Amino acid sequence: MSEKRTFSISELSQEFDVTTRSIRFYEDQGLLKPTRRGQTRIFSTKDRVRLKLILRGKRMGFSLAETRELFDLWDETLTGNEKQLLKMLEFLADRRAQLEQQKNDIAQAEMEIETAETRCREALEELQKKKKQQDAGQKESKQTVT
């Protein structure tokens, strides 16, 4: 981590590849608490770490409310506590269950697509056979007439 003690919004935006608007949104939601020097936001190393955790939680599928709850539990003590760790484990278990359900749903959808595709190919093949038979029958009729 950087030795620097404070960060501007543009520095955090570039470092984490997020928009300044997103950072201001996280601030509005109470997840980041920069100090101000006039109109300028000054972010601490704590804000930087929190932004990193917000983005990590987002990638794992945590809601901002869940992230806020974890931050609030951490803020109750200087070093976090058992309550926070248990809550984090609960969130992780819930997210894992959601992902497992999504994987099962995707597998089911793939099977249904495969079945529909097979049926369509069989029906198309049958139609093409009938068309060939009709074309062959029409050719024979024309040859008999002439």
- Rounded to whole angstroms, how far apart are CA atoms 64 and 55? 10
What per-residue confidence (pLDDT) applies to 146? Answer: 59
- Rounded to whole angstroms, how far apart are CA atoms 136 and 130? 10
Residue ranges covered by each domain of the chain: 1-63, 77-145
What per-residue confidence (pLDDT) applies to 87? Answer: 85
100-103 — which CB contacts under 8 Å span 24+ positions? none
Those residues whose C-beta lies under 8 Å from the C-beta of residue 16, and which sit 6 or more positions away, are 51, 52, 55
What per-residue confidence (pLDDT) applies to 73? Answer: 80
What per-residue confidence (pLDDT) applies to 1? Answer: 47
What per-residue confidence (pLDDT) applies to 123? Answer: 96
What per-residue confidence (pLDDT) applies to 51? Answer: 96
**Local confidence pLDDT in tens for the 146 residues of the chain:** 446 689 999 999 999 999 999 999 999 999 999 999 998 999 999 999 999 999 999 999 899 999 998 888 887 776 667 888 888 899 999 999 999 999 999 999 999 999 999 999 999 999 999 988 888 877 777 776 65
What are the E-state strand segments in the chain? 6-7, 35-37, 40-44
Those residues whose C-beta lies under 8 Å from the C-beta of residue 62, and which sit 6 or more positions away, are 91, 95
CATH code of the region 1-63: 1.10.1660.10
